[in-house]
Amino acid sequence: MNCIKTIIGRDLSLVMRQGSDTFVVLIFFVVTVTLFPLGVGPDPLILQNLASGIVWIGALLAAMLSLDRLFQLDYDDGSLELLILSPYPLELVVLCKCLVHWLTTGLPIMLMSPLLALMLNMKSTAYLSLIGSMALGTPIISLLGAVGAALVLGSRRSGVLITLLIIPLTIPILLFGVAAIQAGSEGYSASAPLMFLGALLLLSIALCPWITAISLKQVVS
């Protein structure tokens, strides 16, 4: 537990020193969602039908903005080698870093999404499904992003490469997230798509830290 607290506290302090990253992610999320009404028109019914997809697409794109920094700072200053050589499992270190990324990126996006959904005229019955799908889906993006960040670590244009690697893997998250919101807006139970998202989250927690740890060891060696 002391190891977990130390890693999380260290990474949170580093993020706080560069607080503009979280601010940029939120601004990008807001701008992306706001641009859709300008493109499709201000019709409330059209926006209501498209609201779930608009919010989720904006969230996916915004969450990827800071993925390239997940391990880059540790790689640049040499602390990544110390983390790999430490007696603690590297998978646990990766999981802590993913948690910090979610706390500073996924959680703010989740809290902001109901406000943007209100602007898009989303039905009030869909808000619980929206929050639930975001709570389950955004951590998966952080975990998958860690795999992509480890694979392209040290490469030029790493941000673009991570996006190309991760976007195809996030399609199931987008589909189930939108399905949950649409079910809630139509008055149906959203438990089925939310359970699929929960299963994907558990699978990601089990596999992504392990794959990321192997990739980091290959990069450093």
Residues with Cβ < 8 Å from 147, sequence gap 6 or more? 165, 166, 208, 211, 212, 215
In this predicted structure, the answer to whether residue 150 has a pLDDT above a threshold of 80 is yes
Q: How many domains does the chain have?
A: 1
pLDDT digits (tens, 9 = 90+) for 31-87: 999 888 888 877 888 888 889 999 999 999 998 888 877 887 777 777 778 878 877
- Buried/exposed 150-172: b ≥16 CB within 10 Å, e otherwise: bbbbeeeebbebbbebbeeebee
Report the distance separating Cα 184 and Cα 180, nearest Å. Answer: 6
Confidence tier at 218 by pLDDT (50, 70, 90): confident
The helix, strand and coil proportions of the chain, stated in percent and rounded to the nearest 5, come to: 85, 0, 15
- Average pLDDT in the 19-27 region? 80
In this predicted structure, the answer to whether residue 18 has a pLDDT above a threshold of 80 is no
Structural domain boundaries, residue 208: 2-220
